[in-house]
Structure 1
Amino acid sequence: MTPEIQTRYAFTITALIGPVTSAGETGSGVRRIIPIIGGEVKGERINGKVLSFGADFQIVRPNELIDLEAKYAFETDDGAVVYVENRGIRFGPVELLQKLKRGEPVDPQLIYFRTVPRFETGSEKYRWLMEHIFIASAARHADRVVIDVHQVL
């Protein structure tokens, strides 16, 4: 018998975002690039600030299915730098996703927004970030994305 999969809340990343840049229809969807300009990380075992570089590189497919790939970093309160690659999807009713695009508020419970973040760091204290799988539930707001990260046990 294999071990049962369980998760435990680990921390929340709030990534502040800048204006969207679009490269247009590329043949596989509309390529969008959204800069990550700051934010914070808060949790029981880790706290810090999102660094002001990186971006979310998206492909918007038909019916507003969005493939996401964010690459950025954060610095912990004690000076460790953690690189983040976060892939996922966002999907929901087309009219609600179009409201999000316009910066209008939408109840996050009505949008499926899940990701799989991976972390890299040279800090021994935060090595646990590289030794586990994480999954996340996220919510998009006009100026930020809030990501609740859960550790797979």
Structure 2
Amino acid sequence: MTDVAEEMTYRLRVRGPMPATQGSPVGERIYWEMSEGTLEGPRIKARIAMPGGDWYRPGADGFGRPDVRVQFITDDDAVILLHYTGLVQMNDAFTKAAEAASATRFEDHYMRMVMRFDAGAPKYAWLNQHLFLAEGRLTGRDQIEYRIYRVT
């Protein structure tokens, strides 16, 4: 049986959204910018190097589907790229917290991501060699926190 091990915490601040692409032949998208953020764990300490982006797709089923790409620089100057997708349940707890700029708990709504890292520095090769899953929550106005787990 496969297990997961908590590997790091990803905290970020978003900016946006831009107006949606309603009427697009490939479906509506809402763009959010990942303006600030950190990755912190026993084996990594990094910050967002430049803004990333989320081409978020709202769904008629009450779930949103993020498609995020963001760039990090570690405290020892390594570049790490992160691409993640997943599901965000837009239930009452999530909507009320987002409107009030307040926090949610991880168990208040379904916010799960598949995280895919790309690192060139040998010290961070482990990021390329494992699968990562995350659970998320809101932490305040335009702020999100993810607990990232490595699949062992």
TM-score by length of 1: 0.88
The one-letter amino acid paired with 1:152 is: V
1:6 corresponds, among 3, 9, 16, to 3
Give, in whole Å, the separation in 2 of the partners of 1:24 and 1:102.
22
Q: Does the CA-based 8 Å contact 2:98-2:138 persist in structure 1?
A: no
Q: What residue is the counterpart of 2:45 in the other structure? A: 47
1:102 corresponds, among 99, 103, 110, to 99
Q: CA deviation at 1:54?
A: 1.1
Q: What residue is the counterpart of 1:18 in the other structure? A: 15
Give, in whole Å, the separation in 2 of the partners of 1:87 and 1:38.
19
Q: What residue is the counterpart of 1:88 in the other structure? A: 86
Partner SS state of residue 66, structure 2:
strand
Partner SS state of residue 44, structure 2:
coil
Q: Does the CA-based 8 Å contact 1:92-1:110 persist in structure 2?
A: no
Partner SS state of residue 54, structure 1:
strand
Q: What residue is the counterpart of 1:149 in the other structure? A: 148
Give, in whole Å, the separation in 1 of the partners of 2:2 and 2:117.
20
Identity %: 22
Q: Does the CA-based 8 Å contact 1:88-1:116 persist in structure 2?
A: yes
Partner SS state of residue 125, structure 1:
helix
Q: CA deviation at 1:22?
A: 2.6
Q: Does the CA-based 8 Å contact 2:64-2:87 persist in structure 1?
A: yes
Q: Does the CA-based 8 Å contact 1:96-1:106 persist in structure 2?
A: no
Give, in whole Å, the separation in 1 of the partners of 2:47 and 2:115.
17
Partner SS state of residue 126, structure 2:
helix
CA RMSD for the aligned pairs? 1.8
Partner SS state of residue 19, structure 2:
strand
Alpha-carbon distance change, 103 to 83 in structure 1, aligned in 2, over 3 angstroms: farther
Q: CA deviation at 1:75?
A: 0.8
Q: CA deviation at 1:21?
A: 1.1
TM-score by length of 2: 0.88
5+ residue gaps, structure 1, are: none
The one-letter amino acid paired with 1:23 is: A
What is the total number of aligned residue pairs between the two structures?
149
Cα deviations by residue, 1:112-144 (Å, 9 ceiling, x for unpaired): 000000000110100000000010111134222
Give, in whole Å, the separation in 2 of the partners of 1:112 and 1:27.
28
